[in-house]
Amino acid sequence: MFQKHIHTISVLLCTFFSIQLNAQDTVKYIGTTLSNVDYHHGQLSPAIGAHNIQTYRANREHPEWTGGFSWTYSHQPMLAYWNNTFYLEYLSNPVGEHVGKGQTLLLTSKDGYTWSNPVVVFPPYKIPDGTTKEGRKDTAHNTYAVMHQRIGFYTSKTKRLFVQGYYGIVLGEKDDPNDGNGIGRVIREVYADGKFGPIYFIHYNHAFNEKNTSYPFYTSSKDKSFVEACNELLATPLLVQQWVEESDRNDPLIPLKKDFKAFNYYHLQNGNVVGLWKYALTSISKDEGKTWQYNPTRAPGFVNANAKIWGQKTVDGKYATVYNPSEFRWPLAISVSDDGLNYKNLLLVNGEITSLRYGGAYKSYGPQYVRGIQEMDGTPPGNNLWVTYSMNKEDIWVSKIPVPVKEKTDKQVNDVFAEMKDGNELDEWNIYAPLWAQVKMEKMNDGLKALCLKDADPFDFAKAEHVIPATKKLVTEFSIVPQQNSFGLLEIEFVDAKGTPCIRLSFDSTGSLITKVGYRNKGLAKYKAGEACNIKLELNTETRFYTVSVNGQKASANIFFAPVATVDRIVFRTGSVRRFPDADTPTDQGYDLKNPGEKDKEAVYYIRYLKTKTTE
């Protein structure tokens, strides 16, 4: 009888705690869309108008093209907006992760599209000779620190901008800079004229202090307001929580000392704080991060692995998370919530993976380690969400995502670029623009505006695509003015909501306009450099037939090379579809590609207009 009562009490207690846990507020994904890792884009529909812009392209062979830098490991970017300027911090190593010297650099931009060359904000730091770690036999000799930081900026209450970094110690293979045995965290001010204040340590690890480090402690500064700003930062739990991985394991400064990685946060309407960590772990704080309601737990429904997830409130009063919704570091996607807790959709931000040109330790494939602009670190003009991330831990990118975030449109396209308002031409276009494969508005030789796709990148391409209403019977007209006919490639695809193409036209390198017909290609017309190709294409997804007419000539009848139920967007791309890497690709690439730092001869294509209509 007694055992029966104990069992009953146990069941009741389990039920009670289960109810209590379920009653807690938590972030969750309530949508039904999931990504398919077999595709770089995950078969996700794009967030309409998202622009992906490369800000830094690593180059070992030609440092003169990268501001004088030849290191090829670039990672952990952070973003701020201050003094009408974007600031982008990232760290760099010569070849691979946590190997050799480390330094942190800063890029700036006035518009988010054109970026400065990088400048060093935290230079390489020499570890004192003789430094050791408990449990390791290695000893530092002419050894330099590596850098690692989960928070890059802090804008004080007096609106001064500070940049942060962390010097960690790696003494040999498989050593960890985040084991609590590093040197410490540094800080310096960013001035409005683009210069920087002196470097100070703001926090030390246990073996270091003012006497055995190369920079002074912040309290020694004669700038009282600088000291006050540092104290302000140190007294803010939500900020110092982001130091947990690098700090001493029992650091009294850190509220939640457990090894949860890459913390970021946002405030709900009721003042509660949502915390997010890698693996989409989450919890809620009601006291600004001093304590957490429950141990960080996987957000129900979210798919995310050992990669960062970013969350924030958006300018329309809603909330967004940006992350890799897979066990890999692709694609990069966004999900939106009305209340900051229930996320209801999953849309594509960046679904491309450029070639990893330089091998190196722990260089994962894909657009990864995403970070946006922290709550106090500025609000750029316009209704957009800005994030930054690395590609393959090699190149640095930003994305601008229009807010409110849209998946569908009910308008067909009538974009005659010469007649459109300056600055707004690409608002409804999704673009992917590497530094050597630009996508932007330009004037042609006749003085008229056109959408220009350029490509001098042997390993990447320019891409512009436009979402249209899901259509079964479509008439499309567009005009292409290629500036060459003996090199380059421009592909035009008609795809469904999951990115499956049914039609592909190509301006090839032999002066031929061709279309894909099953395994083979079919010639449609010859084209000349500098002359417009005005193309009219009519399609029917039910019959799978389409016709193509070039410059008013007799239409050519063709059949889809793949079936789709509807056509949902039109893609212009200066290269072929990429399928490497995939889920079975070996994790680490230990080799460089051939001629990784060289440019191709630049191919240029102008798009004068794109028009669509349905005949349904």
Q: Looking at the domain assignment, is residue 8 inside a domain?
A: no
The answer on 268 and 127 residing in a single domain is yes
Same domain, 175 and 269: yes
Q: pLDDT by residue (tens digit) across 584-596?
A: 999 889 999 999 9
Which SS3 state, helix, strand or coil, does residue 186 take?
A: strand
pLDDT the model gives residue 357: 98
Question: Within 13 Å and on the Cβ side, how many CA atoms surround 133?
Answer: 20
Contacts 24+ apart (CB under 8 A), 530-533: 530/445, 530/481, 530/482, 530/483, 531/481, 532/479, 532/480, 532/481, 532/608, 533/479, 533/480, 533/481, 533/482, 533/507
Last residue within a domain, chosen from 379, 402, 425? 402
The CATH number given to whatever domain includes residue 465 is 2.60.120.200
Q: In the numeric block, which tokens belong to residue 8?
A: 């009953």
What pLDDT, on the 0 to 100 scale, is given for residue 23? 52
Q: How confident is the model at residue 616 (pLDDT cuts 50, 70, 90)?
A: confident
Is the residue at 182 inside a domain? yes
Q: What is the DSSP letter of 38?
A: T
Instruction: Supply the pLDDT for residue 11.
Output: 38
Task: Locate the DSSP E strands across 544-602.
Answer: 545-550, 556-559, 567-573
Instruction: Mark whether 373 and 469 lie in a shared domain.
Output: no
User: Is residue 96 located within the same domain as residue 186?
Assistant: yes
Where among 353, 381, 402 does a domain terminate?
402
Per-residue pLDDT of 500-545, as tens digits, reads 999 999 999 999 999 999 999 999 999 999 999 999 999 999 999 9
Percentage of the chain modeled with pLDDT above 90 = 94
512's CB contacts (< 8 A; 6+ apart) are 523, 524, 525, 526, 527
Give the pLDDT confidence score for residue 1 in this predicted structure. 44
Contact indicator for 18, 311 with CB cutoff of 8 Å: no
Mean pLDDT of the chain: 95
The whole-angstrom separation of Cα 251 and Cα 203 is 10
Residue 5 has pLDDT above 60, yes or no: no
Q: Which domain holds residue 552?
A: 414-614
pLDDT at 4 over 70: no
pLDDT digits (tens, 9 = 90+) for 91-141: 999 999 999 899 999 999 999 999 999 999 999 999 999 999 988 999 999
Residue 20 confidence (pLDDT) = 45
- Shared-domain flag, residues 396 and 539: no
Domain stop point among 402, 433, 460: 402
Interatomic CA distance for residues 178 and 201, integer angstroms: 17
Q: Is the pLDDT of residue 19 over 70?
A: no
CB 33: neighbour CB atoms within 10 A?
17
- Whether residue 341 sits in one domain with residue 280: yes
**436 shares its domain with 356:** no
Q: DSSP character for 47?
A: P
DSSP 226: H
Structural domain count, the chain = 2
Mean pLDDT, residues 172-187 taken together? 94
Does 16 map to a domain?
A: no
Give the span between the Cα atoms of 244 and 604, in whole angstroms: 48
Three-state DSSP class for residue 578: coil
Average pLDDT over residues 433-439: 98
Whether residue 157 is found in the same domain as residue 213: yes
Looking at the domain assignment, is residue 7 inside a domain?
no
Q: What is the pLDDT of residues 324-348, one digit of tens each?
A: 999 999 999 999 999 999 999 999 9
Residues 350 and 468 in one domain: no
pLDDT value of residue 2: 39
Give me the mean pLDDT over the 487-510 stretch.
Answer: 98
539-586 pLDDT per residue, tens: 999 999 999 999 999 999 999 999 999 999 999 999 999 999 999 999
CA-based torsion, 520, 483, 430, 150: positive or negative = positive
Residue with tokens 């650099």: 105
* Percent of residues, the chain, with pLDDT higher than 70: 96
**Domain CATH for 70:** 2.120.10.10
